[in-house]
Amino acid sequence: VRLRPVAAGVCNCLRGSRVLLATAKPSVLQFSGLGQALEAFLERCTRAASPPLTYELNDEGAPLLDDLPTNITIALYRIVQEAINNTVRHAHASKIEVRIIQQEEYLQIIVEDDGLGLSKLPGRRTGGLNNIDTRASLLQAKFATATRENGSGTRLEITLPNSSITPRTTGPVNPCAPT
């Protein structure tokens, strides 16, 4: 009975921590950019993975990624972070590949693994995939999952049209200034 206030306090602290973590900007994004932040995350996850997991990162969008608005950079990082975590936790994969592709019309991120693949239950998505879908929708990006072409593993694609990206400004914006 005397521990109830302590337990309630711990629960409040945990809730507060979760909110803080959900809104925090990973410092590696601030200093290194999206490509290097993803590589650092891949390195950490694959080093600790069991069974052993190797990774490959192909960053074809490097120069343009630095100009993305902060909110888009964070959302893309969180999306790929969730995809990598899903592979590490559930796929029993031996390899994961992340490709960042910048085209004239869109930015695309593809995450592929050679693991077990997605559940065969149609239309059923777990919490992690629902989180990715929600973040992609907020960005006005397309989100698709599929079994890889060779029949094993998972392919996840996020396609963000360039038309939904507002370039980052270099100075403070005056919302009252005439347009």
Task: State the pLDDT at residue 176.
Answer: 43
User: Could you report the per-residue pLDDT of 137-162, keeping only the tens digit for each?
Assistant: 999 999 999 887 777 899 999 999 98
User: Could you report the per-residue pLDDT of 115-129, keeping only the tens digit for each?
Assistant: 988 765 455 556 888
Q: Where does the pLDDT of residue 71 fall: very low under 50, low under 70, confident under 90, or very high at 90 and above?
A: confident
Selection from 45-49, 77-81, 89-93 with the highest mean pLDDT: 77-81
Task: State the pLDDT at residue 20.
Answer: 58
Q: Where are the beta strands (DSSP E) in the chain?
A: 54-59, 95-102, 106-113, 142-147, 154-161
3-state secondary structure of 68: coil
Task: State the pLDDT at residue 173.
Answer: 44
Q: Where does the pLDDT of residue 168 fall: very low under 50, low under 70, confident under 90, or very high at 90 and above?
A: low
Of residues 125, 114, 31, the one with CA closest to residue 82: 125
> Average per-residue pLDDT in the chain?
81
CA 31: distance to chain centroid? Answer: 18
Mean local confidence (pLDDT), 153-177: 71
Output the pTM of the full model: 0.75
| DSSP letter, residue 90 | I
Task: State the pLDDT at residue 121.
Answer: 46
- Residue 171 in this model has a pLDDT that exceeds 50: no
Task: State the pLDDT at residue 120.
Answer: 54
Q: Which residue has the tokens 């902060």?
A: 70
